[in-house]
Structure 1
């Protein structure tokens, strides 16, 4: 992880110091911010590889910071929250966060989750050219994973990078059920704590966005409660 940088947005000084300590131990250079506005500024200025982002900040909600960051940064975003409401988790992931970590957490858990995130290829590190892989998902839906682009009948579909990766993984085997563990390996490159929840949340978000874009109401189906399949059109 040499040369990688992280921005820690957390208003609790003790927790911010702990997170930075763990991330430095994982080989990242760190910078901290105690407000959402300062966090957005640091991400814009430093272009880090990772952002850890508390949901409750003194000026902006972490979800709003995530939304702003996603307009100009491809950094991995991990939300850190004391909230247990599933709606908050759904919103964070829907806005482009890659993972969430609920307080209280152990340094070991944080380190493991960060390591898993950083194993995932991002657009800036995948390389590629104009001949990058194009995945035909059927029904006019086309994906270019390396550029994190989804198009439906020539119009862009506003999917997050993780959603593009997940949909591409399903589209490469249309009509074939894929177990959650296979999808976790394909999209995240490793195991996640609560990976079942993460997969289910992202699939639910894909359902909503594809339906809104006009791609049909049942493109992704659950199979036997443990797998998902993309129905060809």
Structure 2
């Protein structure tokens, strides 16, 4: 993967439990990452701004600001992949975590091999600077206290500079006839530039929300199950040997809730995405009642 190999593989671990911090460092370093570990949300935000890591793990219940608030602040400053690790497993907590900007939500206690597999799956997704994905906000000049060098010696490239930026077209830009857009009613999606427009207005979707919507729009009226959508996001479509658990399916439901909210859609009266009870999701009919 070009982005992974071109940029230093640094990970920031934000966790107040020292035993879990050490376990996460072992998992990430075995996957080839340099690690920076901190014990609270404020220092976690500062470390992410300083190092611009590829991966950030976030505990939820921490001193100072919690993981939800830390994720929101990090997402304003960085395109790092955020993995939220927490003992909170209610659907409302999953929705809150994903809505705050997390890419993955893993319930403690976790299995190290499964966590590593999820990390590897995340790295197969496009990041900012790739294929027109949204670029991160400018980095702040002041990053607070300095941090020690990452634990691994594989840090010759140093912290990333955040220079991989793609300028997105403005909402009012004229689209040339050669551009291929997926269209459903007044919803338009361009897979190449990763732009979505609803009634002419550009929507701000997360990577995962965009990928889910693109999959459904490409599938049209074909139903996609939660397990199928999980594998699509992992980049492992139709590979049946990969495990899809209840937590994965709840995460899809949470992402879908956020996506529908941004579309102004509701499950009871869907205009764009409908639920096929007990099966999954598909696009609504072009001619169904509004």
Cα separation, partners in 2 of 1:142 and 1:68, compared to 1, 3 Å: farther
Please list the CA deviations of residues 163-221 of structure 1 after superposition, one character each: whole Å capped at 9, or x if unmatched: 011101111122222233332232221355432222222112222221179xx734211
Counterpart for residue 185 of structure 1: 231
Counterpart for residue 53 of structure 1: 58
Contact 2:91–2:250 (8 Å) recurs in 1: no
Contact 1:222–1:229 (8 Å) recurs in 2: yes
Residue 247 (structure 2) pairs with residue 200 (structure 1): no
Contact 2:55–2:82 (8 Å) recurs in 1: yes
Higher mean C-alpha displacement, 130-139 vs 100-109: 130-139
Give me the whole-angstrom Cα distance separating, in 2, the residues matched to 1:135 and 1:20.
42
Say which one has the larger Rg.
Answer: 2
Counterpart for residue 14 of structure 1: 19
- CA RMSD, 1 decimal: 2.7
Query: What TM-score, normalized by structure 2, do the two folds share?
Result: 0.71
Query: What TM-score, normalized by structure 1, do the two folds share?
Result: 0.86
Give me the whole-angstrom Cα distance separating, in 2, the residues matched to 1:135 and 1:96.
26
Cα separation, partners in 2 of 1:162 and 1:138, compared to 1, 3 Å: same
Give me the whole-angstrom Cα distance separating, in 2, the residues matched to 1:212 and 1:96.
20
Give me the whole-angstrom Cα distance separating, in 2, the residues matched to 1:61 and 1:200.
23
Cα separation, partners in 2 of 1:133 and 1:32, compared to 1, 3 Å: farther
Aligned length: 231
Deviation at 1:125, TM superposition (A): 3.7
Counterpart for residue 189 of structure 2: 143
Alignment equivalent of 1:167, drawn from 205, 213, 218? 213
Contact 2:41–2:62 (8 Å) recurs in 1: yes
Cα separation, partners in 2 of 1:50 and 1:146, compared to 1, 3 Å: farther
Give me the whole-angstrom Cα distance separating, in 2, the residues matched to 1:168 and 1:175.
13
Contact 1:94–1:160 (8 Å) recurs in 2: no
Give me the whole-angstrom Cα distance separating, in 1, the residues matched to 2:265 and 2:112.
40
Deviation at 1:78, TM superposition (A): 0.7
Higher relative contact order (CA 8 A, sep 6+): 2
Deviation at 1:67, TM superposition (A): 1.0
Contact 2:270–2:284 (8 Å) recurs in 1: no
Contact 2:125–2:234 (8 Å) recurs in 1: yes
Cα separation, partners in 2 of 1:9 and 1:145, compared to 1, 3 Å: farther
Structure with the higher fraction of residues in helix conformation: 1
Give me the whole-angstrom Cα distance separating, in 2, the residues matched to 1:69 and 1:143.
27
